[in-house]
Amino acid sequence: MKEWLRDAVFYQIYPQSFNDTNADGIGDIQGIIQKLDYIKNTGFNAIWINPCYTSPFTDAGYDVEDYYTIAPRYGTNEDIKNLFAQAHAKGIRVILDLVPGHTSITCKWFQESLKPEKNEYSGRYIWTDYVWKGCDGYSGISGSMRGLSDRNGSFGVNYYSTQPALNYGFAKITESWQQSVDSEDAVSTCNAIIDIIRHWLSLGCDGFRVDMAFSLVKDDDEHLETIKLWKRIFNVIRPEFPDAVFVSEWGQPDESLIAGFDMDFLLPFGDSHYMDLFRTDNPYFSKMPDGDALPFFTKYIENVNITKGKGLMCIPSGNHDIPRISYKLDDEEMKLAYAFLMSMPGAPFIYYGDEIGMKYVEGLKSVEGAYNRTGSRTPMQWDNSLNNGFSSSSRDKLYIPIDSDADKPTVEKQISDKSSIYNELKKLISVRHLYKALQADAEFELVHLEKSASPLVYKRGGKILVAINVSDKAAKCEIKENLGNVIYELGGSAVLTDDVLSIPACSASFIEII
């Protein structure tokens, strides 16, 4: 494991909504640089930035036009080099978002592939050999498009019609137009991604979060060929950049970590039961009865056993694709959720604004392909000045409207309130930094958890006992440990008497094991 990753606490920045310094209503790279001290003072020592490359922004930058150039609305390549340098000077690492599965339709590669004459990019995308023949029905391809040029064929797309799928080959060849993973075109696409990775790492980037990393090779249900593909990429990149970190959007750590990724996200879809914790109608981290964390931990422990020693699984507070953590949890419940996130293995990821309890804003008009996700992407709320300090532009120019709630949280208010979500999270981050037993690779052992019940008790590194009671009633459980100092408490401290641990209602305790 990379040494810096052991103690990493990531802050996810959605750049267009974070901080606008040129009054165009859109956040920018200079805005991130301007807030580095805030990020550091909160305790974050790593940043993940959503895609900031040149794009037509039909999908908020996940439709890349030019992988090598920062979008002008955010700044320049020199700006991001400056960000890397200034962040590093403050002890902060920066990873970018890599989108290897598709480009925009305005990408030079795709524009060349549209031509009927064969050229270098004709096979960079997935094309059938006849315009009326589609490429639907294969895993990793969302649909087909046709009629954009005189080339005789249809091309596969990922997600939106503006995102043509790049060609890394098919695991199984069943049609004449399909290519193998070892074909010249598939290998060329792989090499192009390697060059892009090398470009940004050479400029000072510390790694990448990789979008939909499992989806590259098509018709690859068991992801065996995709795993081989990533191994091929890492075999080239790792010797050149041994300190670089790669985080996969995969959701199956038994596959992604074998493929060579340093960490894997537990996703809001699939069988991780991540949503059971914070976002169902009855989430575990609410005071409502019957929230159940047992399915989550059953799967989590299964993954721990499969992947032990091979990498990390990360549990984010949220991200740009799902409702904010505050959508189902109140302030007290969020504090308990953060006690959980900051005491679990892997590197925690906190989505911008979650540290102050920003709300999911319902009913907003879709912006740049966000649709129902728009409410999780509203501008950062810094203070009570114009546009809450996000931008000095007129309100009608803002990327997404500011939350209109007069009582909405701001950084300024949260910092000044000693009992705020922000100050509780800051305290938790400092405790995590202080104790190695709470950090990324320290051992995890579930001590007590029953179906649809509190408390939740687990050990970290064999040295710290974590006891969390999300219920509004006191809870007890039997444990056989010798406990020492309480290193963190929220809502009162758990007490061990005659092998019975008593945990106050709505509380969290981190206690040394002696």
**What's the pLDDT at 130?**
97
Q: What is the CATH number of domain 102-167?
A: 3.90.400.10
Lowest mean pLDDT among 151-165, 215-229, 257-271: 257-271
Rounded CA-CA distance 272/293 in Å is 11
Looking at residue 310, its pLDDT comes to: 75
> Which pLDDT value is given to residue 289?
80
Q: Environment class of residue 489 by beta-carbon count within 10 Å: exposed (0-12), middle (13-18) or buried (19+)?
A: middle
Can you tell me the mean pLDDT for 24-40?
Answer: 98
pLDDT, mean over the chain: 96
pLDDT at 178 (0 to 100): 97
Phi, then psi, of 219 in degrees rounded to 5: 55, 45
Please tell me the class of the 444-513 domain.
mainly beta
Band the pLDDT of 231: cuts 50, 70, 90.
very high
Give the helix/strand (H/E) hosting 155: strand 155-157
431 phi and psi angles, rounded to 5 deg: -65, -45
211 band by pLDDT with thresholds 50, 70 and 90: very high
- Would you state the pLDDT for residue 309? 67
Say if CB 475 and CB 495 are below 8 A apart. no
% of the chain beyond a pLDDT of 90: 94
Per domain, the residue ranges of the chain are 3-99+186-434, 102-167, 444-513
**What tens digit of pLDDT does each residue of 271-321 get?**
899 999 999 999 999 998 889 999 999 999 998 888 876 778 899 999 999
Which tens digits make up the pLDDT trace of 79-92?
999 999 999 999 99
Q: What is the DSSP letter of 452?
A: T
- How many secondary structure helices (H) and strands (E) does the chain include? 12, 20
- Whether the predicted pLDDT of 78 surpasses 90: yes
Six token digits for residue 121: 């990019």
CATH 3.90.1150.10 fits 3-99+186-434, yes or no: no
Among 440, 463, 464, 460, residue whose Cα is nearest residue 6: 440
**Verdict on whether the full-model pTM lies above 0.75:** yes
At a CB cut-off of 8 Å and minimum separation 6, what does 17 contact?
27, 352, 377, 378, 379, 380, 390, 399, 400
pLDDT value at position 327?
97
Tokens describing residue 228: 């081989």
CA distance 18 to 31: 7
Where does the pLDDT of residue 414 fall: very low under 50, low under 70, confident under 90, or very high at 90 and above? very high
Output helix, strand, coil percentages for the chain, rounded to the nearest 5. Answer: 30, 20, 50
Q: Is the pLDDT of residue 399 over 90?
A: yes
pLDDT of residue 1: 82
Average pLDDT over residues 153-171: 97
